[in-house]
C-alpha cells in the first residue's frame, strides 16, 4: 500500500464516487415514485406547411421526455384510437401498470391504465375530437396508481 498522495488516483476515486452517487439517486427516483412530483409529459407536433388540415404523423409523436410514443389509428366506425406505448426500460418502469390521464386542451381529458407492457389504448368518437386537436396534449400519471 502506497503512503504517498497521488492526485491522479484521488481524481479517479472522486469520479467513481460521483458516478455511483448519481446512479443511486436515479434508481431511488425510479423506485420511490418520482412520478408524483414530475410534471406531465407533453406531446407537441410541429406545424406542417400546406393548405390541407393538419394530420397526425403516421410514425407517431414522441413525448418531450422521450419515454412514450403516441400513435393514432382509426376504427372502421370512424372512431379515433390513440395508443400510447412506453419506450425502453425506463419508460416501462415508469408507466407499466400505472393509471394515467391524457389532457387535450382545457376541455377534454381521458383516463386509462397502462398494461404490463406499457401500452394504453384510448378510443374517441370522431365527433368528440378532430386530428387537429391531437397536435398537442399532456400525459400525467395519477396519484394512487398501481
- pLDDT tens digits, one per residue of 96-146: 999 999 988 777 888 999 999 999 999 888 767 777 777 788 899 986 544
Which of 35 and 128 is assigned the larger pLDDT? Answer: 128
Question: Which residue, chain included where needed, has cell 403516441?
Answer: 70
Which of 119, 121, 118 shows the shortest CA–CA distance to 110?
121
| Residue of 79 and 94 predicted with greater confidence | 94
- When pLDDT is averaged across residues 1-17 and rounded to a whole number, the result is 77
pLDDT of residue 12: 81
The torsion angles phi and psi of 24, rounded to 5 degrees, stand at -65, -40
pTM (2 d.p.): 0.65
Q: What sign does the dihedral 22-94-146-36 (CA atoms) show?
A: positive
- Could you tell me which residue, 44 or 92, shows the higher pLDDT? 92
- Coil, strand or helix at 25: helix
Q: Has residue 28 got a pLDDT over 90?
A: no
What are 8's three cell numbers? Answer: 491522479
Q: Do the beta carbons of residue 81 and residue 72 sit within 8 Å?
A: yes
Q: Which residues of 46-79 are buried (b: 16+ CB within 10 A; e: fewer)?
A: eeeeeeeeeebeeebbbbebebbbbebeeeeeee
What pLDDT does residue 55 have? 73
Q: What is the pLDDT of residue 120?
A: 95
Amino acid at each position: 500500500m502506497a503512503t504517498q498522495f497521488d492526485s491522479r488516483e484521488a481524481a479517479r476515486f472522486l469520479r467513481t464516487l460521483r458516478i455511483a452517487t448519481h446512479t443511486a439517486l436515479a434508481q431511488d427516483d425510479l423506485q420511490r415514485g418520482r412520478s408524483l412530483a414530475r410534471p406531465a409529459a407533453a406531446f407537441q407536433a410541429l406545424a406542417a406547411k400546406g393548405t390541407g388540415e393538419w394530420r397526425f404523423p403516421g410514425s407517431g409523436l414522441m413525448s418531450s421526455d422521450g419515454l412514450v410514443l403516441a400513435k393514432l389509428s382509426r376504427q372502421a366506425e370512424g372512431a379515433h384510437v390513440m395508443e400510447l406505448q412506453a419506450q425502453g426500460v425506463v419508460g416501462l418502469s415508469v408507466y407499466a401498470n400505472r393509471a394515467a390521464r391524457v389532457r387535450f386542451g382545457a376541455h377534454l381529458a381521458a383516463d386509462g391504465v397502462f398494461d404490463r407492457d406499457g401500452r394504453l389504448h384510448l378510443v374517441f368518437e370522431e365527433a368528440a375530437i378532430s386530428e387537429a386537436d391531437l397536435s398537442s396534449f399532456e400525459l400525467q400519471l395519477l396519484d394512487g396508481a398501481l
